[in-house]
Structure 1
């Protein structure tokens, strides 16, 4: 992205932020709306504005290289995302559902539900430290010489294996050709084509390009079953032509001419059709008409790997230069200005002594270090001359009087705290009363939001600090040196003042003792109150049993045991599903949706949960459970999450864990240590209901499925801190087979909705046009989706891949594809036949989900209360 475009983008975004702040300030003054729909409209409009703001700010942050400005943009991104999550929680509580619908607000902004997708991989990825990244990928850019030699040795081993494999294949191919020639004409091949065996030794030098291009394949087989060559046949025909009559010769020429003209006509027709097809395609592309009826992917900020690498390198270089600038500037200031700064500080303190002695004949008490010493003199928080004179004339207070004053201050402070506490309780009761009546205090929600306050302060400070800075002239992204100098001067001043205070306190005591001697009074040095060091609770350091081992050895131990798995790269576009476009129009009198979510809606909920795994400080769930029938896309979603986060994928399913049953404590210690060091990390449990089985099936007793259950809460979830980028991710297709402990161990439980018509249509369209785009351009996808919409997405994908095999795709133009072929796969090729999930099964899932999800519980309770109220009436 060019500097000019990023600069203009930032100017327009900063204007939008100021307009958003003005809008929120107006909302802070409104009375609580009596209608729930008004509150929902306000929050939904703000939510959409914040979605747009977060997407723009993350893009700007990703393309901003000036270090001091990037700090400002980062603060804005972080707080905007936090406010976005707070707004979403407000909307969820109003909807009493994990899924929110704000179609009316989207229509006003001319947006679609796809535009509410927040996640952008390059902008949100958490960057690992270089030493950790080198273990995960063999990156020679950041290796020392010894590490490079070890990596080259590994590469040479791989090359040797590849060369041996190529040699084996070449020998096998030569043997096949030799055998084919012998089988065709053994006598002729052995007599004429026989070759002497030459001893050949294959040599290879690493990093040496081939100087001469070599064609290795030699085709020696002659499959024309005749001893006569083409030339001999032609001469033979000409010789026979001499014996033919004139009529026969004319007939032969006519046949040849007709054959030639027919070949030419077919060839010209073929070329004409091809040229017409190319022109037609060009015309359609020129007019913006899609040639193929295919699923259109949403546009995202696409960044090539090379561009990402360049940006990372550029940022890292600028950060290093900025740190070096700070160190150089600090060193320069300490060398050139520190002696004069110390002299200035001591002269200022001496002037302060002289001022009070001249006016009052005494010295102001020297400020204690606990109150930041003589910094109080600079910020003018000491007594002035008049107040000090009055304090000298007053009689000294007795201990009882001092105690009374102290107790009085404590009582006033306690009374103020109780007053504030009572006011908060009163406001909370008022808001709860309004909430029970269906009224939301919008003004309080916006005014009490810390992220909004932080955004306002950041923008205000930015307008002050950068008002005289022309960013457009700084195309090299150089840091502003004057700010570095000012900051380091402030730091050095505080450090030097503490040192000067120690020497000046000695001088102060000498002056006080001399004054006491002149007045013939005994002098007693005052007590110095130093800053107390915060004594934290001494925690016993846990003994690390793997303290003598390297992280690389622990990582490779889990990888060799197949606990750490490689995940195929997937993105959210591969989870093909449509959104629910009618839920917002089917609300009841309580303004609650009456239609369940579509399959595409779950992508938004998953993306919101992933935001906390980014480099920004955002709240996230510690554990997520995906519930749904078999082949509904649970494992695909897990792969997508791991791929989008570039996370280490640790499989803790019973099949893997049972191999470590003898020492589970050590195994989980290694897992959590690797997870914490290599974060972001996904801890995955496939079919998690097995870990909490009510009754273990006989066929699963060998893998000890419940072995992990007692350790999940204590050894896995409890050690995960809020700042850790670790999440426990589970899937289950039979949740009712587990104990209630399953619900308690997973913080967020999501039910994958069944396929609807829109999702099924997009699924058939994408999968079939991907397999045969030209042959299936005008296929009846709508009818196919209508008939088979009840099948799960995994079943549809399997049906398409099996039906549209290579041989079937070759016959598509001659033999049209019959929709019955897909049904045959489900009914005849599958044993037993595969039918869609029954309604009873989906009702069972919905019932279990209603008793497990927080918002579903709240909705069920609200509906029960409403029915009870209606019965009383």
Structure 2
């Protein structure tokens, strides 16, 4: 760990300097006049966004690697501040362009950055710092589901000793029989060749001719192998193909994993020692300096009474440290004595001295209020004081009465006498609280769109790529749910809709949000809540329990699958008994009651959003993400990823580019199903002798229905009716009109100039 300490410190220092420069530039930009040109304004916002993402990546790396507990606290504050600023800039760009998707091709070229550098990283501390609690919760949920009969463990068949011997004997006899059959077949073929040769009267070939033939074939084979090897080396040199053993983990990578595991242990140990030191040093400060602090504060307040005659209100003497003042503490601090990077006692004393002052200040304020009251009693009459108190108490009672009336039914606790464990258990047994699948956001594979800016410049709206979708899920779902500070200070997103054709990975993204943040997953789909908690009161109780558990055990994700059913224009006859619109009226009330400190996110998924009533639909889901089918670049990456994930081996015989072209119109789900159909256990065992070919996947792919152009156009037409889609169309129309007016002005100017020339 210690040899890399200088590198970690450098990452932190570089990020801090870049942040200082960026903040100074933003202050200067605010002092200037607001920019009228949308293109220039977007470029400014996008450049700041990209630079903040770079700082975010460096700070996340530094926070994960540094073991000093107090430094990590400072970096954590900066890291959360940067995350919040990224979300603010994203919100500004959405407001400016009236679109959730943005394209930075030209800006990335100017900054000389690859698209990977604007990928939003998922902070590792989201899961690492609460891993034990998540493991205990997972164990508790498994026990509940098992006892409720919702999850059954696979039974292990026990076998008697005699039966095991019999099974082994049968398998061994079968193996010997296959070997004997192969041997007898070879003998039969040799005898058959001899008989045919005798009947035809042929003699064997000349030995010299046979040797020459063998030599020609062997030399040709060797030369082909050499040519192939030279071609492979050339492609590796050019970077067109990965080197051999590219997928295998190197020794340096294995060593890095060991160091990371050891670093985590050191971080945990230092954090525990730091927390103990906080309590111990605070108690010592109270004992040693408490009386002096108390006397000093009393003298200061008495002096205020004498000089200013203040009768109400008290000054706050606790010092206020700005962020840069905190980071400046570490900039020139000598840490030669602290080689293992443990806690710094002097900094703990400075920090805890402020807390001790604040605690003692509360006691001093109470004493000084009493002293002030005694002074006022000397001057004023006691009756006047009692009358004032009576008036104040009446006002307080009136205010309390008003607040009680204002409280709605959603704020009432309908289960005051029940523990959170009992509510958690009931929701799990009812199937409303489910286990999230372990899926990382990085598993949602997709390539960056390289032509977005070029298409928008010619007034063509590009289809977003899967990489863009992944970015939005990280920004709107994972970062706010993972960090309490980010959720409270960044633009609040309470509900998000994922709309797109079947198989584009909507449910996978829901599970990825839960996996990356350690969130609970509640299933409020119409099909899942049908028949549960019947009646109006039952529905009220169900949502109360769900939201109560979701808030107390945050972060939490409330998922509504096929959410268009909750907002049906007209309920089909076959689904009337299910009552799919139960949540339509009551759900917005519970969402409205969510506050910034409640890390609860509603996520809806739909394949047919056009079946829903648009106005209440868009009123609930403030963020609507339209997920398209994958483009060629994403399909190329997907085929590789899914084949390797399912045990396949990529060779030259398998033309991935051909698969990507022929699978145009098919989704990730179609590709996954085709790969799983082909790569059976038997086919995987044959792979070393019989490499995979593209034609094998075509049969399975051809049996599935792709996403046709008509369906894609239907989704586009529906999205154009959403609030953001309407705003985008309106903005484009205004820009076109402005362009036409400019063109008319130029043409008019040219005509007048030509008339003047003729007159002259």
What is the TM-score of this pair, normalised by structure 1? 0.65
Distance of 1:68 and 1:481 partners within structure 2: 10
- Asked if 1 retains the 8 angstrom alpha-carbon contact of 2:126 and 2:518, the reply is no
Q: Does 1:600 align with 2:486?
A: no
Q: Does 1:165 align with 2:156?
A: yes
User: The residue matched to 2:625 in structure 1 has which SS?
Assistant: strand
Q: Does 1:470 align with 2:334?
A: yes
Q: Does 1:836 align with 2:706?
A: yes
Distance of 2:126 and 2:452 partners within structure 1: 30
In structure 2, the residue matched to 1:243 is none
Distance of 1:296 and 1:600 partners within structure 2: 26
The verdict on how the C-alpha distance between 1:10 and 1:167 changes in structure 2, with shifts beyond 3 A counting, is: same
- Asked if 2 retains the 8 angstrom alpha-carbon contact of 1:621 and 1:747, the reply is yes
- Asked if 2 retains the 8 angstrom alpha-carbon contact of 1:571 and 1:640, the reply is yes
Deviation (angstroms), 1:4: 3.3
Deviation (angstroms), 1:325: 3.2
User: The residue matched to 1:682 in structure 2 has which SS?
Assistant: strand
The verdict on how the C-alpha distance between 1:853 and 1:635 changes in structure 2, with shifts beyond 3 A counting, is: farther
User: The residue matched to 2:593 in structure 1 has which SS?
Assistant: coil
Deviation (angstroms), 1:706: 2.3
In structure 1, the residue matched to 2:427 is 558
Deviation (angstroms), 1:100: 0.8
Deviation (angstroms), 1:849: 0.8
Distance of 1:222 and 1:70 partners within structure 2: 62
More helix by share: 2
- Asked if 1 retains the 8 angstrom alpha-carbon contact of 2:521 and 2:558, the reply is yes
Deviation (angstroms), 1:281: 14
- Tell me which of 487, 491, 509 is aligned to 1:619: 491
The verdict on how the C-alpha distance between 1:546 and 1:307 changes in structure 2, with shifts beyond 3 A counting, is: farther
Deviation (angstroms), 1:109: 2.7
User: The residue matched to 1:626 in structure 2 has which SS?
Assistant: strand
User: The residue matched to 1:600 in structure 2 has which SS?
Assistant: helix
In structure 1, the residue matched to 2:14 is 12
- Asked if 2 retains the 8 angstrom alpha-carbon contact of 1:333 and 1:489, the reply is yes
Pairwise mapping of residues 160-559 of structure 1 onto structure 2 (< 5 A)? 165=156, 167-168=158-159, 172-174=163-165, 176=167, 180=170, 290-291=242-243, 315=267, 317-339=269-291, 364=306, 367-368=309-310, 370-372=312-314, 457-463=322-328, 465-466=329-330, 469-471=333-335, 473-490=337-354, 492=356, 537=400, 544-559=413-428
Distance of 1:291 and 1:316 partners within structure 2: 38
The verdict on how the C-alpha distance between 1:841 and 1:508 changes in structure 2, with shifts beyond 3 A counting, is: closer
In structure 2, the residue matched to 1:677 is 552
The verdict on how the C-alpha distance between 1:309 and 1:675 changes in structure 2, with shifts beyond 3 A counting, is: farther
Deviation (angstroms), 1:313: 6.0
Structure 2: 5+ residue stretches without partners: 148-152, 180-214, 745-760
- Tell me which of 65, 72, 75 is aligned to 2:74: 72
Distance of 2:31 and 2:374 partners within structure 1: 60
Q: How large is the Cα RMSD of the aligned pairs?
A: 5.1
Deviation (angstroms), 1:98: 0.8
In structure 2, the residue matched to 1:645 is 517
In structure 2, the residue matched to 1:739 is 613
Distance of 1:138 and 1:307 partners within structure 2: 32
- Asked if 2 retains the 8 angstrom alpha-carbon contact of 1:578 and 1:758, the reply is yes
Pairwise mapping of residues 699-738 of structure 1 onto structure 2 (< 5 A)? 699-715=574-590, 717-738=591-612
Structure 1: 5+ residue stretches without partners: 140-149, 156-160, 182-218, 227-264, 354-362, 380-453, 514-521
- Residue-pair matches, total: 668
Distance of 2:431 and 2:376 partners within structure 1: 77
- Tell me which of 789, 811, 822 is aligned to 2:664: 789
In structure 1, the residue matched to 2:719 is 849
Quick one: higher RCO (CA 8 Å, sep 6+), 1 or 2? Answer: 1
Deviations 1:73-105 (A, max 9, x none): 222112212221222222233333111111122
Deviation (angstroms), 1:345: 6.5
Distance of 2:51 and 2:73 partners within structure 1: 22
In structure 2, the residue matched to 1:858 is 727
- Asked if 1 retains the 8 angstrom alpha-carbon contact of 2:654 and 2:694, the reply is no
Q: Does 1:657 align with 2:529?
A: yes
Deviation (angstroms), 1:613: 0.8
Distance of 1:656 and 1:37 partners within structure 2: 47
User: The residue matched to 1:625 in structure 2 has which SS?
Assistant: strand
- Asked if 1 retains the 8 angstrom alpha-carbon contact of 2:558 and 2:601, the reply is yes
What is the TM-score of this pair, normalised by structure 2? 0.73
- Asked if 2 retains the 8 angstrom alpha-carbon contact of 1:768 and 1:800, the reply is yes
In structure 2, the residue matched to 1:255 is none
